[in-house]
Amino acid sequence: MADPQPAPLLALRGIGKSFLGVRVLDGVDLDVAPGEVHAVVGENGAGKSTLMKIVSGGYSPDEGTVEFAGQPRVFHGPRDAQRAGVGIIHQEFNLLPERTVAENVYLGHEPVRRGLVDRREMLDRTRRLLASIGETALPADSRVGQLGVAQQQVVEIAKALALDARLLIMDEPTAALADQEVELLYGLVRRLQERGIGLLYVSHRLTEVFDLSSRITVLKDGRRVTTVDTARTNTDELVRHMVGRELSNYYPQRADPADRGPVRLTVRGGGNRKLRGVDLELRAGEVLGVGGLQGSGRSALARALFGVAPFTTGDVELDGEPVRLRSPRAAMRAGIAYVTEDRKGEGIVARQSVLDNALLASRAVFAARSGRAARTARVRELLDAVEVRAAGDDQEIRFLSGGNQQKVVLARWLALTPRILLFDEPTRGIDVGAKSAIHDLVRRLATDGAAVLMISSELPELLGMSDRIVVLRDGRIAGELPAGATEEDVVALAVGAVREAAA
């Protein structure tokens, strides 16, 4: 572990942070030298974003010290950190699309002369700033909303530099960029480096990390695994550092390959704004796991199949018949159910009763007159079957635990007797006990003949539950793995560490 530069710009020592008793960061050390690109990698939930928020003033650490430019600092909020010289470029830009580049760059500290905003000065300074990072093609007086994503990123960087940032944090800076734009970002990063600006570069994409950084820190489960010189490591070693925790949970028995039924759902060349060339087969009786990084198109796939944001290209077949799933309603009528990732926002109607929530889908899709009493009775049975624990059917659902809420959502869909179930992070935010109950339910549905597609960013869950796993990357299917694959296999596909052997 080399420590080449004598005076680090940023020095983190023993940083710890907990939320509601859960330890998210534990004893993390990290240095950034002026002009250095220091990459931070780790799985989803490894603590990267919490650490970045601590550096940029979003959170204050429970333990440990932050030293910036040789002085111990406690940042009170993002503005404080900005003034001190720490800028952060979020994945989602903090820009006003209706205002010009210059107005955005100098928002909050517009140059004034005799009490009035000096527009010419503002434009001049913006132009000089853009020129200093080699971006002369970007007009300072164009509206930010009409710029491309890459150019908006440049505006963000200029905005940070206008405040004399000496340390820039880039959080997944290439997530939204097209391939040729990534090259431009590389150039920009190098120019920032030449100016002596230190960069903390958070990325999932190992290629970039290797191209740009001089050192890499690997985080896992809130701890620093190691910090290595980029020149002295390779992808395999890095992936090994990122994963490799023991599989301690219990998962229900997988399907016997012989029990798998016919193909229920086929997608050929499916694409839309977020997906490209998706080929997929889903069989009755199996649980197909979907892995990938955040933003890789996992939810987009489920949303396309459920008609929320349908495929615009390609074909979908259901039991061999071509179908168009153009709205959730159409998907539901075709026998598809979707348990969403965002339970609070999209899954439950918080102030309605357990029963109303469970009846929501059947009421919406099937004619009201067809046996209301029978339908209610059936939903009651289902609520029992999934073992919802509530004070009564008429209790407002918001008072239930996450696990019980999820069971109600599940009962809602089972009332439609779906043949295809899409689960998006079905156990997110659910305690361990309820988790395995959900796992059992999911497996039982498959055993009873449903085709199940399950998205999960929790690798043990994905590996433990799935009969097959497809891994998405950048809106495409990066590869498929059989049951018994390892975490390394999934991560390697997700970050693109394996060159796809010409398949």
Partner 1 sequence: MTALSLRPARHAVPGVFVALALTLVIGWLVVMLDGGQLFNQSTTVSLLHVAAGLGLVAVGQTLVILGGSLDLSVAYVISLSTLVAAEAMNGSDGALLPAIGLALAVSAAIGLLNGVLVTKLRINAFIATLGVGLLLKGYLDNGYDGPAGESAPALVRTLGYQRIGPVPVSFLLLLAVTAAAWFALSRTRFGHHLVAVGGDPEVARLSGVRNDRVLITAHVLCSLCAGLAGVYLASRLGSGAPRVGTEGLYDLESIAAVVLGGTALAGGRGGVLGTVGGVLLLASIDAVFNQLEVDAFFKQVIRGVIIIAAVAVYARRAMRKAGS
Q: Which residues bind partner 1 (CB under 8 A)?
A: 78-79, 82, 94-100, 103, 107-110, 112, 115-117, 119, 137-139, 141-143, 145-148, 150-151, 159, 181, 184
Amino acid at 38: H
Angle at 255 between CA 254 and CA 256, to 5 degrees: 120
| DSSP tag of 295 | T
Q: Which is nearer to partner 1, 82 or 456 (CB)?
A: 82
Q: Which is nearer to partner 1, 83 or 372 (CB)?
A: 83
Backbone angles phi, psi at 411, to 5 degrees: -60, -40
Task: Supply the minimum distance, in Å, between the C-beta of residue 105 and partner 1.
Answer: 10
- Residue 330, both tokens: 């159409």
Would you say the C-alpha torsion 317, 318, 323, 324 has a positive or negative sign? negative
Q: Which is nearer to partner 1, 2 or 112 (CB)?
A: 112
Task: Supply the minimum distance, in Å, between the C-beta of residue 281 and partner 1.
Answer: 33
Q: Which is nearer to partner 1, 37 or 155 (CB)?
A: 155
Q: Which is nearer to partner 1, 54 or 138 (CB)?
A: 138
Cα 119 to the center of its chain, rounded Å: 39
Task: Supply the minimum distance, in Å, between the C-beta of residue 45 and partner 1.
Answer: 24
Task: Supply the minimum distance, in Å, between the C-beta of residue 110 and partner 1.
Answer: 5
Task: Supply the minimum distance, in Å, between the C-beta of residue 200 and partner 1.
Answer: 18
Reference 292, options 442, 451, 467, 477; nearest CA is 477
- Residue 433, both tokens: 């006990």
DSSP per-residue string spanning 67-131: EETTEEE---HHHHHHHHTEEEE-SS----TTSBHHHHHTTTS--EETTEE-HHHHHHHHHHHHH
Q: Which is nearer to partner 1, 9 or 147 (CB)?
A: 147
Task: Supply the minimum distance, in Å, between the C-beta of residue 196 and partner 1.
Answer: 24
Q: Which is nearer to partner 1, 143 or 240 (CB)?
A: 143
| DSSP tag of 497 | -
The enclosing H or E element of 413 equals helix 402-414
As a whole number of angstroms, the distance between CA 490 and CA 459 comes to 8
Give per-residue burial for 140-169: e unless 16+ CB within 10 Å, then b. Answer: beeebeebeebbbbbbbbbbbbbbebbbbb
Task: Supply the minimum distance, in Å, between the C-beta of residue 59 and partner 1.
Answer: 15
Q: Which is nearer to partner 1, 107 or 483 (CB)?
A: 107
Task: Supply the minimum distance, in Å, between the C-beta of residue 41 and partner 1.
Answer: 26
Sequence-separated contacts (24+) of 182-186 with Cβ below 8 Å: 182/208, 184/150, 185/150, 185/153, 186/211, 186/212
As a whole number of angstroms, the distance between CA 299 and CA 339 comes to 11
Q: 165 and 197 in contact (C-beta within 8 Å)?
A: yes
Q: Which is nearer to partner 1, 159 or 407 (CB)?
A: 159
Task: Supply the minimum distance, in Å, between the C-beta of residue 75 and partner 1.
Answer: 13
